Chains A and B, each alone.
Chain A
Amino acid sequence: MALATSSTITLHVNGERRTLPVDHRTTLLDALRDHLELTGSKKGCDHGQCGACTVLIDGRRAVSCLQFAVAAEGREVTTIEGVADGDTLHPVQQAFIDLDGYQCGYCTPGQICSAIAVIEEHAAGWPSAATEDVRPEAGAPPLDADEIRERMSGNLCRCGAYVSIVQAVARAAEAAQGESAQDKSAQGGDLAGAEAGTAVTA
């Protein structure tokens, strides 16, 4: 029996179900851009090295160039086209505009998807390589510039807009913190399960 090397798959993208035939070699990035006309996610390196293709898969940031589309079937994919709430931009999008967090804009969709996840990971108490004391008793470190730079290091910017990217992420994180202080139920975010040691799916 010859092995099937293509399949008809259903992807869940930005809350919609999209059925499409794919050669198994198609990456999620190529499926989004070339099959679903969602060209917001960008191809920089195609090897996991730049972050331009960053999307959220089951609520977590991931590079879509190292994920085959067929392997993403059944998972919830959110691209830059899906982060706004109707006509209201996501607070991270707004902060990038307000603080000029870009120049040419090529890396920006990936930066924004990544930053959305960084803010949630931090709210859930995740340490980073910049965190002095990773022990849980030490508590979450403040999301200062060093923490933001480390956590955002998977997103390169050839224009070197890093200074304003860091400011935009800090601004959006502050706004999110203000909100969660008002709405206690939102505290911990979708990733809080990791604290209890359980597998997390947002």
Chain B
Amino acid sequence: MREFGYERATDVPGAVALRGADGGTSYLGGGTNLVDLMKSGVERPALLVDVRELPLDRVEVTEDGGLRIGATVTNSDLAVHPEVRRRYPMLAEALLAGASGQLRNMATVGGNLLQRTRCGYFADTSAPCNKRVPGSGCPAIAGEHHNHAILGASTHCVATHPSDMAVPLAALDAVVSYETVDGPGELPLADFYLPVGDTPHLETALPPGALITHVTVGPAPVAAVSHYRKVRERASYAFAIGSVAAALAVRGGVVEEVRLALGAVASRPWRARAAERALTGGPATAEAFAAAADAELAAAKPLPDNAYKVTLTRNLIVSELTRLAEESAR
């Protein structure tokens, strides 16, 4: 590991000033991803700015009835927050499905959004990887890719974003607020993660040196009936191989409103807008759910060893919407 300096920031302006726009400095949240990647040599910061003592550890109800979540709120505190559990159960469930109790106590909201892919080549500094060393190639395409992307990937990178939390946040149209030395800014989650294209090393639209300060979700009454379902290779403490966050409101057998996002299928949490369009105003039946899943997955481009994800994701969508239709009718 490279030697590094360590500073603890206590206010937001101080944190962004310490960080600057220099690529050699990194914010340190819970460290559960950054420390791991420093050990493997993927990340080599010269200075760490610890953000955990910033006054960003509150969850507040906004004037319009949404939630404003501080960037250093831990994954545990957010998961057990009564307003999250009551009004956005899919968000609580996604957080609880991630990592382990120990890691959730450490992990922060900001760090969770910015965690890097779990592609094995990315973590192995002896392998080529376009995301880590632009232009070096993507060995996953001809190699190990059973948990790689089926949607929105490119010939330059087929990695997935591993966050569970980000999937319901995508379904909820969350907005990320940040601070820089030049002032604050905002990004809707839909524009937060950049398309892969031929620049897989550029992952987010955050300006250099930006500190994530908050994530805001709107009131979204539809989310009162919502779930997150995650499939993994063992029962717990593993990353998703497929997941779905869904919220559904049905009146008189008709879909009034639906929110649907998919995890473990793309370089970002995947908002299933084609499926939402197909469903809205139509019948809440298993046939309609399957047709909507097919509409979304028509764009899927699986690789030889991850075609199972198309079927898995389709079945996940249908089963979760079916369950929610029953709950919504109650």
**B96/A134 in contact, CB under 8 A:** yes
The binding surface of chain B is classed by DSSP as mixed
**A129/B80 in contact, CB under 8 A:** no
Q: Is A85 an interface residue (CB 8 A)?
A: no
A-B contacts at CB below 8 angstroms, number: 130
Q: Is B5 an interface residue (CB 8 A)?
A: yes
**A61/B50 in contact, CB under 8 A:** no
**B102/A23 in contact, CB under 8 A:** no
**B39/A47 in contact, CB under 8 A:** yes
B106 to chain A: which residues have CB within 8 Å? 62-63, 66-67
Q: Is B296 an interface residue (CB 8 A)?
A: no
- Tell me the chain A residues, 59-84 only, with Cβ under 8 Å from chain B: 60-63, 66-68, 70-71
**B82/A5 in contact, CB under 8 A:** no
Number of interface residues of A (CB under 8 A): 49
Q: Give bound CA distance, A23 to B237, whole Å.
A: 31
Q: Is B201 an interface residue (CB 8 A)?
A: no
28 A-B residue pairs with Cβ-Cβ distance under 8 Å, sorted by A, are A5-B3, A24-B4, A46-B39, A47-B39, A48-B32, A48-B36, A60-B76, A66-B31, A66-B106, A68-B31, A68-B35, A68-B48, A71-B52, A114-B101, A118-B101, A126-B76, A127-B92, A128-B96, A129-B96, A131-B96, A134-B85, A134-B96, A135-B86, A151-B101, A154-B99, A195-B80, A199-B58, A200-B77
- Are A62 and B28 CB-contacts (below 8 A) given A27-B35, A127-B85? no
CB distance from B292 to the nearest CB of A (A): 26
**B6/A24 in contact, CB under 8 A:** yes
**B35/A70 in contact, CB under 8 A:** no
Q: Is A86 an interface residue (CB 8 A)?
A: no
- Tell me the chain B residues, 12-36 only, with Cβ under 8 Å from chain A: 28, 30-32, 35-36
Shortest Cβ distance from A2 into B: residue? B5
Q: Is A92 an interface residue (CB 8 A)?
A: no
**B86/A5 in contact, CB under 8 A:** no
Q: Give bound CA distance, A7 to B48, whole Å.
A: 14
Q: Give bound CA distance, A71 to B92, whole Å.
A: 28
Q: Known pairs A47-B39, A62-B102, A71-B52. 15 more at Cβ < 8 A? A: A3-B5, A24-B6, A54-B102, A60-B105, A61-B102, A66-B36, A68-B28, A68-B35, A71-B8, A126-B80, A127-B80, A127-B96, A128-B96, A149-B235, A153-B236
Kindly supply a per-residue 1/0 record for chain B positions 43-69, scoring 1 wherever the CB is within 8 Å of any chain A CB and 0 otherwise.
000111010100001110000000000
B101 to chain A: which residues have CB within 8 Å? 61, 114, 117-118, 121, 151, 154
Q: Give bound CA distance, A7 to B236, whole Å.
A: 38
B235 to chain A: which residues have CB within 8 Å? 149-150, 153
- Tell me the chain A residues, 1-35 only, with Cβ under 8 Å from chain B: 3-5, 7, 23-25, 27
